[in-house]
Structures are given as C-alpha cells and as structure tokens.
Structure 1
Amino acid sequence: MVSDLGPLAGLTALQSLACSETAVSDLTPLAGLPALQYLDCSGCQITRVPKRLFDRPALEEVFCYDGRLGDIPGEILSQTEDDNCLPRLRAHLRDLERGAVRMRDAKLLVLGNGRVGKTQLCNRLLGAGFEDNADSTHGIVVQGFDLAGEAGTEPARIQLWDFGGQDIYHSTHTLFLRSRGIYLVAWTPAQEDNDLHRQGGQEFRNYRLPYWLGQVAEFGGRSAPLIVVQTQVDGLADKRPLDPAARERFATFATAFEVHHSAKKPRGLEELAEAIAESYAAIEQPVIGVVRARVKRTIEDLIAAHTQRSMTVPAFHALCDRLGGIADPDLFLETLHHAGTVFHRPGFFNGEIILDQEWAIRAIYAVFDRASKTHAILQAHGGTFTRILLGLVWDEAYTPEEQALFLAMMQSCGICFEKLPGDPKAGTEASYLAPDLLPERRSDGGWDGDTPDQKQSRCYAHLPATLIRNILCAIGRKAGPRGDYWRHGVRINEAATRSEGLIVSDTGSGRLTLRTRAGDAAGLLATLVKIVEREEARLGVRPTAIEGGPGPRSASMPPQQDLTLDVQRLPSAEPGWFFSYATESENAGGRPVAAFCDKVKAATSITVRRDIDELRYGDQIEAFMDRLVSGERIFIWLTDAYLKSPYCMFELVGIWKRCNGNRGVFEDRIRVLLGDAAIRHETDLQQHREFWRAQQHAAYDRLQQATDCVQAALDLARIIEIVKSSADILMFIRERIRYSSFEEMTERELTRPPVQ
C-alpha cells in the first residue's frame, strides 16, 4: 500500500492525484505542485499539510471523506464521497488567520433499546439520582456536563445526546450520528434474550447489541471511541459477557471499553467516567478560528437557555458580523449543520435555521408516539396524513409557522415526503406519506414471481432500515401518488423507459434487491442504482458485495437522462369508471344509478364501480382516484343529500385534489349530473359553508369524548378539509354541469368514445 508521496515532489505539471484509502499521512511533497487541480485523500489519516496548499489558484476540488486532515475539524471535510470540501477548507483557513483556539467539546451519543436504562444512566452522569419510574425518552434529549481535564487546562464540554430507543425514533438518529464524538451503547441481557419489550401496555421491538454496534460502525466509523455499557447490573450475578457476535464487532473498534453499571445502586459510575475521559482523549481536538468559536459558543448558549428556537439566515450573518466577522458565514453555517450544532437545509424552512433541535424533534415525534392520538390514526391510514391531521397534536402548543417548520424538517430528514401537493388558493391541503408507518407486504411487491429482465442485489454487513426509508422518500418525491409503496419496498411504472421497477429491502439478510422488466429495463435499473448509491453516500453506507447490474441497453432506446424518473400510474386490469352519489338519493329516486351502471355494462362491458360495492373511506376510493388521469371517468350526482354527506363530500374533495393541478383533466374525466342540490347562487354556497362549519364543531366535540379516537379524528380531519375547499369546488363545478337528467347522460355517454 502506498504511504509516501515523496516521488511526486518534482512533478510540477501534475494536475490530478487520488491517494484515497492508502497509508499516506504526509502531504508535504505536494507543496511544489502548482498545477494540481484535483486531490482525493478520502480514508487517509493525514497528519502533515503544507501551508498554503489549499490556496493554490489551480486547485479546484478536494475530497477527504471518512478521513483526517491535520487539525481541521471533521465537519469541514467531505460529508459524502462526492462532496468537494475545498470551499469550506478555504473559508476555515482564512478565519484561522485571525487567531485560533482548540475545540474542547464533544458529543456523547447514548444509544440502545427503549427501557434499557439509558435515561437513568444519563441522569447519573449529570449528577441526578435514580428514579423508579423514569419516563422513556421520546426522540432525543440533549444536556451538557463538564469533563475535568489535566491540571492547568479548561474542562471539556460534553454534550450528552440521549436517543429514544424505539424503532420509530431511529429515523432521525442518523442525522446526528455522523458526528465527532463518543458512542455509548447500553444493553441488558433481558433484551438480548427477548424480541420484544412492553411499555405502556404496548409491545416494541428489541434490537440486539450487534445491530447497535453496526449503527456506530456505519455512521461513526470504527475509529470512533465506543463504550458498551451493560445496564441494570444491580448485583455481581447480573453481569454477563458479550456474546460471540457482539464480541466480534466490539473487537473491530480501535478504542473500545466495556462497562457494567447500575443506576439503582449505583455501581460502575467511576469506571464509566474513566472510560469517557479516555475516549475523549482519543478523539480529535481540532482548531477553529477565534471568531468562529465565539459564534459557536453564542449559538450553544442560546440553545441551552431555550430562549430562541430558530434564527433566520440574515440574523445569523448579523451575529457573525457583530462578533468580529466570518470569511464566509454561509459556509460556516453549513459547517455548524454538519457538526450537529444547528439544523439547516438550504431550500427548506423558508430560510430558517433550527437552533433547538430537541424542541423540533420532540414536536415531530409527539406525532409518532404510540400513546398519541395521531400514531394510531396514521397507521390506520397507511402512513398518509395532512397538516390538518397533525394539528390534532400540534395546534395547542405550536403556531402555524412552527408547524410548517416541523413539516419541512420532516421532509428534509426523510421522515416523510409530499405525496400529493396542495393548493392554498383552492383551499386544498397537501398530503404526506411517512414510510415508517406504511403497512407490511409480501416481499415480491405484487410481481407474482415473474422473472425480471434486469436485476441487481446489494449486500451489506449492516443494512439500516433508514436506507430503504430514504430510497422511498427519494422516489416518492418524484412519483407522488403514482408509486406503489410499502414498508420495505416500492414499485413504479416509468414512462421514458416504458419499464417497471421494483426495490425491496430485507434487513434480516442484509440484502437490497432491484428488479426491472419490459421496455428499457437496463436504463431504468441504471437510474434506480444511481438513486440507491446517492442515498448510500448520504448515510455513509457501503455494500460489501454487488451481484448483477444493468446490462446493455437496446440501441433503439433514447439516451438516458441522469436520475430522471417519469413515473406513471401502475396499469390497471380494466378501464375504471366510478360513480359518486348519495345512497339516500339513490334509494329515494328508484335506483337510477344502478340502472345506469347496468346499461353501461351491457353496452360496453365496463363495470362502473360504486360505493354499494366498494369501501367508502378506504384504499379503494384512494386507489381509484390515484388512477384518475390514466383514462377513467367519474360520474358525480349532485343532490342535497350528497352535499350533506361527509362520505360523499370527502370523495368530492379527493377528486378535486387530484385534478386541481390539471383542470383540463377534471373537465375531460368528470361528468356532473345536477340533481336537487342548490348551488346556483352565492347564498346557496353560504348555506353549505355554515352547515359544514357546524359539522366541524360537532366532530370536534365527538373527538374529545370518543373511545375510538382513530375514526373520530379521521372524521374531524376530513370535515376540516371539506370546510376549507367545498365552496371553491362547488363554484368550479356549477360552471361545468353537463347533465340535468339520467336519460340525457345515458344517451350521450354511451355514444361517446372512451377518453384516451
């Protein structure tokens, strides 16, 4: 393996150098290479860097992922394999010219299953006593304590991050695990021996110790200090050695400690404190510019005081200027995000920087807490939700602006994606999908065992569930309601390649499988592979083996566009016609809908789907409306009973939401038959608004008293949507009424060719 760059010292015309994953530790030979444009030292532990190396005008790209570069903080370096860190390096070095201080802080990241005793352990580290019935952590709790140093040195500031152990919280863990810090994994033999644990009358999955050690290895790296703590060791008889699988993974870490601890006695606290001190000594303690240090400390003080939840980017710039000036505030903000000090993603939050991440994450996971009303509601609804539905938890404590901030954070973190956009002008709410709350499904995703034309399998030593969740979000942002999603996979029909794709994750075997068939299957597989590789890079996950891959593409296929997906709805077995009507009107009017449907069947062989045969609220109407633009027709019989039925009006709102982005689609596919409904005048619309506002108040009262909060909450959320959008919908529809009688509609529709 290469370890010495000395022979390159005289190559003054050298433009590109890749020494990644080598034993190179000294970049001094590069000092005399003025033409150097590209440098990749990823995976290297560089201890010597020549002055002004990164100021060279010719140098354009530097990559140092999963490595070290002298005294430069890791958050300055490449965060993914394709992250050019040169701009951040140059800004950091310019700020050092005004004076430097050594960073004396670190994170202590506490991981493990729920109810394993993490919070009790953290309380002991913070000097608090034992609590018999301590609450379980929901999301993340951040607190700090000082770690005494050697004589004459300032104490180190340790930020203690106590992560919730239930699997729903794992989604945000990966946001903060790639940090300069110490990793503490808590475990108990009882949880190693049982697949589940109970809390609050509910069951939660236990993850065994090798899983948690795999999380640390993937996101922190094997050079990160590791402390494995067996908790609840109240007596010597409670001690247990690591099992062989955990011992094998434990041995791969360069700095690792094993501690037995009891928060109840207490026992093992001194041993734990010593392990933390040794671990702190083993991590990098880089230098930072003095003004950067002032800004960072000011931000940390604001966070600790809980006086300011967020900050605008202009306010951050002003803070930097007030404290002495930063070479590039935006690049420093990016660095603070990488360090986990703040949370900021350009393009999200309307430019807001989230300072108090604990506050935001608590709000987000209040929604997913199994004891909350919304968790059962979201699960019953297949992980789909609107802001209105989340408002059942958020409205009492958070402003609409804060709620928008949380939703943006959820999307940027990959907790959810926007499945269907809303339109504030039309009064329609966007709908979102949370992959972690999707239902389970058989592993073939509905392919029924068909052999794919193209296939690739990616194997991992540790396959985090976060990877498939991020892949679902990446594809979902492009596909929206046109994709078919479940907990561990996604299936799509892609237009440009005329091919069908399937991705399935099996965390048990550590295998991610991609399949494509028909059309340009090789082209679609290549695109899906790129999406997977991009999400792997963001998480720092690498496959240990790759089997198969995109084969040669057909010469007749057009050139492939990078990471472009034009997803269509999955094909249905037969044309879909649907009739939306009030059963009350049908029964009172001599069953005209049934007669119309029979005539359509006799004349065209098309079965018109109607709610007498289908579920009103369930997946059937949702699935049908998701296929609306692929050539189906929807007939709507507007009667007074229809306009007063929450079932009918929810169908109408759903149809409107799916057509609102393309009103031409609405006019082509929707057939409106006006019955005895009064919608011609403004006073008619006002009466409908007042009726549904009264229904909203009544539904809210029912929710407060309901024993079945799932159905009551869904009713309320849907009625709120009806209140917000029904007037606009009816104004649009009344100008587009096609028929005034069933006879007229039957005559014209049965002579009209189907929409193509």
Structure 2
Amino acid sequence: MLSQDLGDNCLNRVRAHYADLAAGAAETGRVKLILLGNGGVGKTQIARWLAEKPFDEAWDSTHGIAVGGVTLADDAATQMQIWDFGGQEIYHGAHALFLGGPAVIAIVWDPATEAEPMQTCNGLTFRNQPLAYWAAVARHLGHRDSPLLVIQSKCDRLEQEVRTPPLPAGLLDHRPYTKNLQVSAKAKRGRASLLETLADAATWLRAPERLGAVRVGAGRLRVQQRLEAMIAADQYRSPDERQHRLLTMDAFTDLCSEAGGVSSPAALLTYLDAEGTVLHRPGLFDDRIILDQNWALEAVYAVFERDRGAFTEIRRANGRFTRDLLARLVWQNHSAAEQDLFLDLMRSCGIAFEHRRFTIDDDGAETIEYIAPELLPATTDTGGLWTAGDPTETVTFDYPLLHGGLIRSVMAELGGRAGANARYWRDGLCGFEADSQSRLWIDQTTGTDPATPWQGHLRLRTQGGNARELMDQLVRVVERAQQRVGLTPSTVTRSSPPDPRTEPRALTLVQEKPNQPEWYVSYAWGDDSEDGKAREAIVDRLCDAAAERGRVIVRDKNELSLGDNLIRFMERIGQGDRVFVILSNKYLASPNCMFELTELWRTSKQDPALFRSRVRICALPKTEIWTDDHRNHWIDHWEEQENKLFERIQKSKIAAMADANHRNLKLFHRFSTQVADILSNLTDHIQPRTFEELEQYGLDDC
C-alpha cells in the first residue's frame, strides 16, 4: 500500500484503503509462512504435508515461488498462506519482494545437502548454500518481528535428528522468536509439533504490540476470496482445461463492482499483488492479471532446465535468445500471447532484458533478441571499452548479504537502455554514456571470505568526460536496484563526494565513436590455397597503405580472439563508415561474408547511392559478377542452400539445432533475394580491377 520508491505516490492507495474500511471492515486471519532453503531439502514436501496432501516421491524442485494455503486445525480463524521459494540461486533475487513484510519464516535444511556444495536437478548443477546463508537472508531481508523456525527435514528416524543446527554463534540472536524443529514429511514424524509451533508463531506475530489484528475493507476481502476460489477450482482441472490462469482488467473491475465496497480496483490490485493472491505489473502482460502464478513461473524457469534444450543453446549463444527459440524448445504448448506474457514476466523480474532488434526478412518484421544474465559467460569482458591507467571515479558498495539478484537488476535496467552497445558478462557490464561522454564499468564480487561467502561488494567505475556526473547517475541506478531486491549496503566508499547539483536523468548508452571514421575490410579469409594467399596479400597491402596515411582498417582476423562473438563483429562491419569489400567467388559463397555484405546493404537503407558512398569494392580476377548469368548463378546458389537447409530441418530430430537453422534459413533467403540487386548496383559503375586503382579509389579520395 505504501510507496515503493521516491517516485511512487501512495496517497491514492491510502485513501482507497480507508474508504473501503469505511464501507465495511473485516478482520483477516491471514499469516504468511515463508519456506526458505536449498533446492531439494524438502520445502515443498512440508508444504504438501501441512495441506494434508500425500508425500510425492516424484517431486524434484520448486520453480520460483509456489503459493498455497492451509487452515491451522487448532485455530480455524488463522489462514496460513504458504510461500514455497525455489532454492536455486537464480530465484534468490525474488525473495526480497516477499520477505519484507511480517511473516513466519521457516528455514528448511538437511545434513546431507549441507555437506554437498553442489546439487544437480533436471540436468542443471546448482550451488548449495550453507544454513548460515539462509539465516543471513532472514536476518537482512526479513521483517524485524518475523518469527524464525529452523526446520531439519528428512528426519525419518530419531537418531537422524541434529539438536544444534550448524550456525555460527550469535547469528540468530537478533531474532525475537526462534525455534528449532526436526520433521519428516515422508515418515510423518513431527507434524504435531510443527503445527503447534506454527500456531504459536502466528499468535505471537499477531499480538497487538507487533502485527496486531489486520483489518481490511470487507469488499476487498470478498474479491480476494472470490479470486482464491477461482484459483482453487482450477487446481482440480487438468492443465488443458484450466479456466482462470489470466484475468482481464475489465473482468477484474466487474468483479469489484459485484462484490461492492471497493472504491479503487487499481488500489485493490496493488494490495492483492503484494499479498501474493495475483501477479500484476502495470503496463506488462498486455495489462492482464496472472491468477495461476505457478503456471507462469513454471514456464519461465523451464528455460533454465538443461533437458529442455534451451539452456544449452542460450549458454552457447553467450546468454542470448529469441522468442522463436523458446517457442520451439520449451513453450511449444503455449500461444504467442502467452509467450509474450512470459517474456514480460522475465523482464519484470530481471531474469532477462532486451538486447537488440534486427530484421532478416524482406517484409521488415523485427526479431527481438534477449539476454539472460544468469547464462552469460563468467569471464570479465570489457571488449576494449576500458582504458587501464586513465583517471577513474569509483564507488564501492559493501553488503553483509549479496546475491545475484542485484547485478541482474542493475544489468536489466542499464542493458535495456544499452542493448548491443555494451559488453556483458555474468557479474558485470561495461559501456559508454553519450551525455556525459564517459565510460562505465560495473561488477559484483562475492565469496572472497570463505567464512562468509554470502558477503560481497558491487563496484562502479567511470572514466573520461564528466565521469563524476555519470557516477552520480549510476549510484541512483544501484539504489533503485537495491530497493527492488531488498539489499542494504553496510558501507559505501566513494573516491569523490557526490555533486549536489546533479539532477536525475535518463542514461543514453551508445557505442563510443573513435576520433576518426571507422574503416573495415570484408573478405574471405582462412584458407591456404593460392587464391587465399592472393586475397591475404591484397588486404595486407591495403592495411599497410592505409597506415601510411594515418588510417586504421579493422579486419576480423586481427580483431577477434577465441570466444569473441562473430555475429557482433559482422554487425559492426555493417555499421562501418567505410568498408573495403574484396569480392571473390569464395566470398559470394560464404554465409559470413554474405551476411556482412547484406548488412551493409541494409544499413545503407538499400539506397544504391548511399551504399556506394560507404563501400569500396575490389573484384578479384575470375569473380563471377559481371553478367546476368553470373548474378543468376548466385541467386540459384543461395536458393539451393536454402532448400537443402529446409530439408535438413524437416528431417532433423535434434530440437537444440532448430533456432540456429531457422535463423540461417532466413539469412539464406535474404541472400538469394538481395544478391542480384547488390551486384547490379556495383557492376553498373566502374570498379577498380588492380590494387593501384583500389588505393586511389579507396584511400586517396578523403
């Protein structure tokens, strides 16, 4: 109900709350029970046990957050909402969204998981956190009045019980209510003690000096109960027959009108989202409301399951993916509208951000490429965007608890603005900001102290231009991210004090332009044939001649190293101010070379005059471009390649290859439809046939 940040005015929500109370008040007996712990320790089995559902031997692991409810037998007025959090690290950023309010927090652990630093689930390898980490989560993210239960699970026999949990002395001294329990959902041991403890904790939390009796508008409670009934009814239907996964705003408004006593449906929706009854983000999900949150979260986190195929492909693509890839590998049974909703959810949670948009088809349809920060390479890669030794502004945030949710949140905000203009790795990013004319480098580090591996720091660096002003803006970005994921630094160290004159503004992240125009050479390289050596010799001479004139011609052979992104470099060539194209038959038969050539054509807006002003062509002897038959040959060549690839896709049973093959299929079609126009525009004008003509034509005209 209250403001979530400085720009969030809560006045209308507060007014709506009191208006709804005035229309009729009701006391709600709801208390949250939040289950924390590593994946596979038995949190979901405990939740099922409390709800009197049978032990499920086949259950593997919870994705994200599963929400359910149970009425405590000894206190029919208390409805305990069970929030079962996925334990894997990628889910930790979501914990803060729900831990901040008063709740009963239960940390579930077992000795076997505590002794294993890693675990495997659905083919994925995850790091297990020590019990002390989860205690630190409760300490730093949980509400000060939240009771804390430490539950040892899988205690099938009395001799398996550990009376003193493995926690550093004093770690839980700050909690006003703590209790240790030993249970086994499988063997049905400890249920009575667990229920009694939960009832005591709920009563303690609802005491007048703490949470007290919670009163809401009776109309609000009627709407909430109606929504919960819809959700519960769906749980007894098969997945294909469920009717209440989503709700439109119009349907929700009608529901509020029918219930009566709701002055502002929008304010009530904010309350229901905070309560966990629904999931809603204004402006996202096509402005629909998600009722079946487990359905949506299962779809999102299926992306990170290795055996579904997408995980391997996204990691192989350095964290990049498209909706087409997910549609083929994990979302086959979901409509395009549902897939868009899942992507919105991934972006709103910082799990992914939009990287770039590009066009392959002639119809101009855009393809959106996203980045999943969790699947980015681990190695720091500033990509030459940072100059060691230059004066640098620094700010370091030290955290008593730091998880990957913070850097993902920062990366999602900045990456959404930078797109392909920045460099990314799992724990950081590097780029250039236009208004300040300054570079930025942000990275996060944890685990430097083996005794407290959950502690760490986030470091900001800026250099060049107005580095201090950019630093002030980046600090605001981090502060917003901290609030989203619930982290508070213990110390903040700055190399320079903030400038009080700095006004908040939107950041514009672009590629840093060099002091002189960027020149590239595009040619077929990589073979030791006589023709290959001749091509290399021409390019060597061209680069040397340019250097004599104070110019640098960038060539991929020298620019790229192992692990660099070839597609990104080829796109850079397509954006070049001047590009020397050394045409040969091998060039015209190479997918990479043709991609560069058609990118030049695309970024020249398919304008022949603009294209010729940027491109300097040198056709080597025997290159077949001069006649209609030559040009038709290349049309036929790429149509044939397209048809062969299509047949291969139809026959292939390897789903993981689908995205790359379909992308290449579109590219081959682009090559076949554009090659004749490109070559005709080039051959209609006199082109250099010797190196001397190329030198005069390409180097001496500027």
- TM-score bucket of the superposed structures, by smaller chain: 0.7 to 0.9
Within 5 A, what are the aligned runs for 1:211-360? 211-242=133-164, 245-246=167-168, 248-281=170-203, 282-283=205-206, 284=211, 285-304=213-232, 305=234, 306-324=242-260, 326-360=262-296
Aligned pairs (5 A) from 1:362-401: 362-401=298-337
Is the 1:337–1:344 Cα contact (8 Å) retained in structure 2?
A: yes
Show the counterpart of 2:378. Answer: 440
In the alignment, what sits opposite 1:14? Answer: none
The answer to whether structure 1 residue 476 and structure 2 residue 401 are counterparts is: no
SS in 2 for 1:77: coil
Q: CA deviation at 1:671?
A: 5.5
Report how many residues are paired: 670
* Residue 563, structure 1, aligned to residue 505, structure 2: yes
SS of 1:159's equivalent? strand
1-side partners of 2:73 and 2:101: how far apart? 22
Task: Judge conservation of contact 2:636–2:672 (CA < 8 Å) in 1.
Answer: no
Alpha-carbon spacing, 1:736–1:672, altered in 2? closer, same or farther (3 Å): farther
* Structure 1 counterpart of 2:399: 460
Deviations, residues 548-586 of structure 1 (Å, cap 9, x unaligned): 2544769xxxx7552332323257799864444567999
Please state if 1:124 is matched with 2:49: yes
Greater mean alpha carbon deviation, residues 161-170 or residues 631-640: 631-640
Match of residue 430, structure 1, among 338, 360, 368: 368
| Superposition TM-score, scaled by structure 1 size | 0.77
The residue that corresponds to 2:452 in the other structure is none
Pick from 444, 458, 461: which aligns with 1:512? 458
Q: Which residue of 2 aligns with 1:85?
A: 10
Using CA pairs under 8 Å that are at least 6 residues apart, name the structure with larger relative contact order, 1 or 2.
2
CA distance in 2, matches of 1:406, 1:657: 31
Measured in 2, the distance between the counterparts of 1:157 and 1:664 equals 72
Q: Deviations over 1:683-735 (max 9, x none)?
A: 999978965663553343465148xx4xx245324225427866786698578
Secondary structure at 2:71 match in 1: strand
TM-score, normalised via structure 2 length: 0.82
Q: Which moved more, 1:124-133 or 1:581-590?
A: 581-590
Shift of 1:234: 2.6
* Unmatched tracts of structure 2, length 5 or more: 235-241, 448-454
Cα separation, 2, equivalents of 1:344 and 1:581: 51
Whole-Å Cα distance in 2 between the matches of residues 316 and 640 of structure 1? 63
Distance apart, 1:88 and its partner CA: 0.3
| Contact residue 600 and residue 607 of structure 1 kept, 8 A | no
Q: Which moved more, 1:728-737 or 1:369-378?
A: 728-737
Superposed, which structure 2 residues align to 1:493-572 within 5 Å?
Answer: 493-508=432-447, 509-548=455-494, 550-551=496-497, 560-570=502-512
Between the aligned partners of 2:527 and 2:114, the Cα distance in structure 1 is 60
The one-letter code matched in structure 1 to 2:16 is A
341-350 vs 620-629, greater mean Cα deviation = 620-629
Deviates more, 1:209-218 or 1:288-297: 209-218
Q: CA deviation at 1:527?
A: 1.0
More displaced 10-residue stretch of structure 1: 438-447 or 312-321: 438-447
Query: Residues 715-734 of structure 1 correspond to what in structure 2 (within 5 A)?
Result: 715-722=660-667
Cα deviation 1:379-429 (Å, max 9, x = unaligned): 111111111222222452111111111111211221111111246951331
* Match in the other structure for 2:649: 700
Equivalent position amino acid for 2:324 in 1? I
Give, in angstroms, the shift of residue 531 of structure 1.
Answer: 0.8
Is structure 2 residue 440 aligned with structure 1 residue 491?
Answer: no
Contiguous gaps of at least 5 residues in structure 1: 1-75
Alpha-carbon shift at residue 109 of structure 1 (Å):
2.5
Shift of 1:275: 2.2
Q: Percent identity?
A: 34
Cα deviation 1:259-304 (Å, max 9, x = unaligned)? 1112232222222222222233315452222222222222222333
> Does the aligned pair in 2 maintain the 1:183–1:216 contact within 8 Å?
yes
Paired AA for residue 562 in structure 1: P
C-alpha displacement of 1:441: 2.4
Q: Distance in 2 between matches of 1:661 and 1:296?
A: 56
CA contact (8 A) 2:520 2:573 kept: no
Deviations 1:203-226 (A, max 9, x none): 321111222233334443232232
Instruction: Check 1:252–1:733 CA distance in 2 against 1; reply closer, same or farther (3 A cut).
Output: farther
1:525-549: per-residue Cα shift (whole Å, max 9, x none)?
1111111111112223221111225
Give the aligned residue type for 1:163.
F
Cα RMSD of the aligned pairs, angstroms, is 4.2
CA contact (8 A) 1:121 1:263 kept: yes
User: 2:34 matched to which residue of 1?
Assistant: 109
Task: Report deviation, 1:622.
Answer: 3.4
Distance 2:394 2:583 in 1: 50
Determine if the alignment matches structure 1 residue 420 to structure 2 residue 356.
Answer: yes
User: Is the CA contact 2:92–2:403 (under 8 Å) kept in the aligned structure 1?
Assistant: no
What do the CA deviations read for 1:79-100 (whole angstroms, capped 9, x no partner)? 3466432210101111222212
